[in-house]
Each structure stands twice: as structure tokens, then as C-alpha cells.
């Protein structure tokens, strides 16, 4: 056909010469913008290095760049902000300054690791502590397909009949060089409109801060400073290790050995913490500070069950102390039977569940909080009074608090659990007893 084009492109899609030129100009301009941005980043970094003491940085890009340019740089630099990790909390720098003043007698050359702070906040740290070595820590984000449900699945193959359950892996901190750190400071996200206590990014940041603190050698303590308006993970950073708290700032001095033990555990209930065929007899130098415990309150109907439980523990070969908490409803007659079975009796005052209906089965089940007041012991294996022990489970004393069997996804079953008695943990539970909403009205639903 006369006038037809040999090109397969329809005329309405074909570019004119002028259009081609315009496209080339736009492409050239875009490339120039990218080069200018990269140059600015490089100059900015150089200025920092020239004007500060030795500093290591993992760069984060400004969000002021246009969306197209931002995406291009993110692909190239892998440094785009992940909203799951972003915290909008305004830092109280007076609080931070006060914490650092009391941190140590050595004010110069403190090594401070900074995790999840933005550029302006990092600059503020440097202005606040100009004589310290600031190490900006780089942490790759968790993949979007790793959710709380994948860390705490509804079911795993505990018997390992078809597979050995494993947990998803979370990225580890990337630390430039081998700096000596005295403090790890972390800013945590806290989405109070959502389920902030079951937030993967928040968990990830705290685990990596703990891992870094646990890596300290010898007698060199590494303190952890958390900036957050939501409560830190109490089983990872315990109240026993809390040095100071003001407002949204929490300073901990954790025991590195304890942290290492905890970090060896799976990140969630996605795999078994104890091997299926665990060694039953484990030698412990602190056996006298370990005990089995149960509780009876409000009724005597479980007295016979508690006597049978004590007998089963002894028949399984354990020689640990047996401690039972009872309230005033348990008579002297029944107490005599419990003592004859080997239980050491501690009389307690019951704790009412404020959410329970009067006379309901769960009205007094928060009395289990009293377990944390058994401070004559370092570890307690709690068992419900209606349970029988069929094999020696002393190996559970090697596990940290709280180790328990799963109940439903991230919820554990409090029928058997490892507890580390502490008055401050007890007080923590009591301070929040009116805020706690249990999914089933019981302690296992907290």
C-alpha cells in the first residue's frame, strides 16, 4: 500500500524526530540528576569524616528525592527506608544526656553503636557527645513475607514425622571493622494503633541489639539504650538488668552469658527449642537453687492431683525441691497430706483477675504471679497440679524464662513453664494487671 510504513509500530505509537530528541534530553537530565545526588552524598560523607573523630556510617537516603529518582537510587544503594522500621518518636535529648553522664567515669572515647536513627538524630548524637566514637550500625530489613504468623505458626510438626521444623532467618547486623562498643543505642518503632507487641521489625531490632551486647568479651560490659514509647521485650531485656528509665528512654546492663543463652533459642515457636530426644540427666551446680512448683487456691479438689504430681516427679528421678503455693482455703488436714508427699508449703494471698466474673473458674488464676516471688530459687519449673511427669524433665532447668509448650500460635500454655523468680518481674506484672487482656481469661492468654 502506498504510504505504508515498513515499521511494525502503528503511526500513533511512532515517535517523531523532535519527540526522540526530547526523550534523549529528559534521559540525559535524569542521569545528570542522579550523578549530582550521588556526588552530594559523597561530599556529605566526606565532610562528616573530615570533621568528626573516626566514624563508621551506613548511609540512609533523604526522602526529598523524586519518586522515580528515589527508586533508582534504592535499587543501586539498597538503602530505602522501610516503614516497618520507622519511628516518629521525638527524642528527649536531655534524657539521653543525663543517661550518658551517669554511664561511666570514662567520658572520652566511648564507643557508641547507633541503630535505626535517622541522619538528623545521628548528627545530634555527635553534637551531644563530640569526643565519642560513633558507629552507625547497618541492618538489612526483614523480608516482607516474614510475618509474626510465620515466626509463631499455628502448628509445626513437633514429632518430626514428615519434616524438621525450622524458623525463617533474620538478617544480622553488619558492623564495620571491629570497634569497641560501650553502649548500643536503638530507636524502636511503636505502632500503637496496631499490635506493637507482635511486630517483626521491632523484634528484629531488639534481637540484634541483644546479639551485639552479648558479643562483649571478658569483663567489658555493653549497655543497651532503647528509645521507645512501647515496652521493651521483658524476657530479653529484663527488669533485673534495668539500670535506669526516664520517659521513653530505657538503659539496660544485661548479663552477656544470659543473653547468649537466650539468643541460642529459636526466634519463635516455628521450631523446637528442646531436641525431641533431649538428654534427661543434666548436671547443674545450682541444683539447690532450682525447684518444681505448683499452686492450689480457692478449692481443695486438686490436692490429690498435687500429691500424685509430686510422686511422679520423684519416680522420674528428680531430686529438686518441690514447692507448692497454697491459700487460706487449703485446710491443715490437706496441707499435712501435701507435706507428706514432699511439697514445701508456702502460704500466699490470692490475686484476683480483674477481668473475671465473680465466682468464675478463672477469678483467682492471676495468683500464679506469686511464682515470681519465690526468690530463694533461680529457676522454677511450674506444673499444673493435675499433671503427671512421665520422664525426668530436669533438663528444662537449662532453659531461660519463659520456656513453655505452645498453645496457639504465639500464645504459650502455662501448664508447664520455666520461670526465673524476680520481685521486679512480679511488680511489673502487678503494675499492668489492669491493662492485661487475656484471650481466654487465664494467665496463658496474657
List pLDDT tens digits, range 252-309: 999 999 999 899 888 888 888 877 666 666 667 788 999 999 999 877 889 999 999 9
* E strands, 68-211, in order: 111-115, 133-136, 183-187
Q: Domain check: are 125 and 175 in the same one?
A: yes
CATH number at residue 258: 3.40.50
Determine how β-strand 290-296 pairs with β-strand 223-227: unpaired
Nearest CA among 222, 202, 211, 199 for reference residue 261? 211
Residue 322, strand partner residues = 292
Read off the pTM: 0.75
Q: Domain check: are 107 and 244 in the same one?
A: yes
* Structural domain boundaries, residue 99: 83-263
How far apart, in Å, are the Cα atoms of 170 and each of 80, 159, 167, 327, 411?
Answer: 18, 25, 9, 45, 21
Does residue 271 sit within a domain?
no
338 CB contacts (<8 Å, ≥6 apart)? 296, 303, 306, 307, 310, 324, 326, 330, 345
Q: Domain check: are 130 and 248 in the same one?
A: yes
> Kindly report the CA angle at 142 between 73 and 145, in degrees rounded to 5?
105
103 touches 182 (CB < 8 A)? yes
Domain boundary among 263, 279, 300: 263
The answer to whether the peptide bond before residue 402 is cis (omega within 30 degrees of 0) is yes
Q: Domain check: are 70 and 88 in the same one?
A: no
280 touches 392 (CB < 8 A)? yes
Q: Domain check: are 345 and 413 in the same one?
A: yes
CATH number at residue 323: 3.90.550.10
Q: Domain check: are 333 and 236 in the same one?
A: no
Q: Domain check: are 299 and 426 in the same one?
A: yes
Q: Domain check: are 172 and 246 in the same one?
A: yes
Q: Domain check: are 219 and 330 in the same one?
A: no
Nearest CA among 316, 268, 318, 315 for reference residue 291? 318
Q: Domain check: are 89 and 70 in the same one?
A: no
Determine how β-strand 111-115 pairs with β-strand 242-246: unpaired
Q: In what helix (H) or strand (E) does residue 29 lie, and over which residues does it extend?
A: helix 17-51
282 touches 395 (CB < 8 A)? yes
CA distance 267 to 304: 38
Nearest CA among 256, 110, 114 for reference residue 181? 110
Domain boundary among 60, 77, 94: 77
401 touches 419 (CB < 8 A)? yes
Q: What tens-digit pLDDT sequence spans the chain (446 residues)?
A: 434 334 333 333 333 344 444 445 444 554 544 444 444 434 333 333 333 344 444 433 333 333 333 333 333 334 568 999 999 999 999 999 888 877 765 556 789 999 999 999 999 999 999 989 999 999 999 999 999 999 988 888 888 888 889 999 999 998 877 888 999 999 999 988 878 889 999 999 999 999 999 988 767 889 999 999 999 999 999 999 999 999 999 999 999 999 998 998 888 888 888 776 666 666 677 889 999 999 998 778 899 999 999 999 999 999 999 999 999 999 999 999 999 999 999 999 999 999 888 888 888 989 999 999 999 999 999 999 999 999 999 999 988 888 877 666 557 778 899 999 999 999 999 998 887 666 555 554 45
Q: Domain check: are 56 and 142 in the same one?
A: no
CA distance 298 to 316: 29
Does residue 47 sit within a domain?
yes
How many independent structural domains does the chain possess?
3
Q: Domain check: are 73 and 117 in the same one?
A: no
Amino acid at each position: 500500500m502506498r504510504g505504508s510504513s515498513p515499521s511494525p509500530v502503528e503511526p500513533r505509537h511512532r515517535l517523531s524526530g523532535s519527540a526522540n530528541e526530547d526523550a534523549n534530553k529528559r534521559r540525559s537530565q535524569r542521569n545528570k540528576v542522579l550523578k549530582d545526588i550521588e556526588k552530594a552524598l559523597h561530599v556529605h560523607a566526606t565532610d562528616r569524616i573530615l570533621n568528626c573523630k573516626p566514624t563508621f556510617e551506613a548511609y540512609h537516603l533523604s526522602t526529598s528525592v523524586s519518586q522515580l529518582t528515589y527508586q533508582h537510587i534504592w535499587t543501586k544503594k539498597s538503602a530505602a527506608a522501610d516503614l516497618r522500621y520507622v519511628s516518629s518518636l521525638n527524642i528527649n535529648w536531655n534524657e539521653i544526656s543525663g543517661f550518658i553522664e551517669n554511664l561511666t567515669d570514662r567520658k572520652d572515647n566511648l564507643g557508641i553503636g547507633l541503630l535505626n536513627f535517622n541522619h538528623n538524630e545521628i548528627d545530634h548524637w555527635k553534637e551531644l557527645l563530640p569526643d565519642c566514637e560513633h558507629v552507625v550500625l547497618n541492618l538489612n530489613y526483614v523480608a516482607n513475607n516474614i510475618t509474626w504468623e510465620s515466626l509463631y505458626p499455628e502448628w509445626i510438626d513437633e514429632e518430626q514425622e514428615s519434616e524438621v521444623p525450622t524458623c525463617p532467618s533474620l538478617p544480622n547486623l553488619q558492623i564495620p571493622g571491629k570497634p569497641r562498643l560501650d553502649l548500643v543505642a536503638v530507636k524502636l518503632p511503636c505502632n500503637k494503633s496496631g499490635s506493637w507487641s507482635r511486630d517483626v521489625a521491632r523484634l528484629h531490632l531488639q534481637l540484634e541489639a541483644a546479639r551485639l551486647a552479648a558479643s562483649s568479651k571478658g569483663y567489658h560490659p555493653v549497655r543497651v539504650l532503647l528509645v521507645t514509647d512501647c515496652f521493651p521485650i521483658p524476657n530479653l531485656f529484663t527488669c533485673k538488668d534495668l539500670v535506669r528509665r526516664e520517659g521513653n528512654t530505657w538503659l539496660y546492663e544485661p548479663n552477656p552469658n544470659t543473653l547468649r543463652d537466650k539468643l541460642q533459642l529459636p526466634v519463635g515457636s516455628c521450631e523446637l527449642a528442646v531436641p525431641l530426644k533431649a538428654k534427661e540427666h543434666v548436671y547443674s551446680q545450682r541444683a539447690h537453687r532450682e525447684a518444681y512448683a505448683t499452686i492450689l487456691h480457692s478449692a481443695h479438689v486438686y490436692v490429690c492431683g498435687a500429691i500424685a504430681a509430686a510422686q511422679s516427679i520423684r519416680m522420674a528421678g528428680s531430686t529438686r525441691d518441690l514447692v507448692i503455693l497454697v491459700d487460706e482455703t487449703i485446710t491443715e488436714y490437706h496441707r499435712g497430706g501435701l507435706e507428706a508427699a514432699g511439697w514445701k508449703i508456702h502460704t500466699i494471698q490470692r490475686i484476683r483477675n480483674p477481668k473475671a466474673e465473680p465466682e468464675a473458674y478463672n477469678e483467682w488464676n492471676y495468683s500464679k504471679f506469686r511464682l515470681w516471688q519465690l526468690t530463694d530459687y533461680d529457676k522454677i519449673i511450674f506444673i499444673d497440679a493435675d499433671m503427671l511427669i512421665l520422664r525426668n524433665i530436669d533438663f528444662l532447668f537449662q532453659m531461660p524464662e519463659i520456656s513453655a509448650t505452645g498453645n496457639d500460635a504465639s500464645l504459650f500454655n502455662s501448664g508447664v513453664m520455666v520461670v526465673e523468680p524476680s520481685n521486679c518481674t512480679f511488680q511489673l506484672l502487678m503494675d499492668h494487671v489492669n491493662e492485661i487482656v487475656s484471650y481466654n481469661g487465664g494467665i496463658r492468654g496474657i
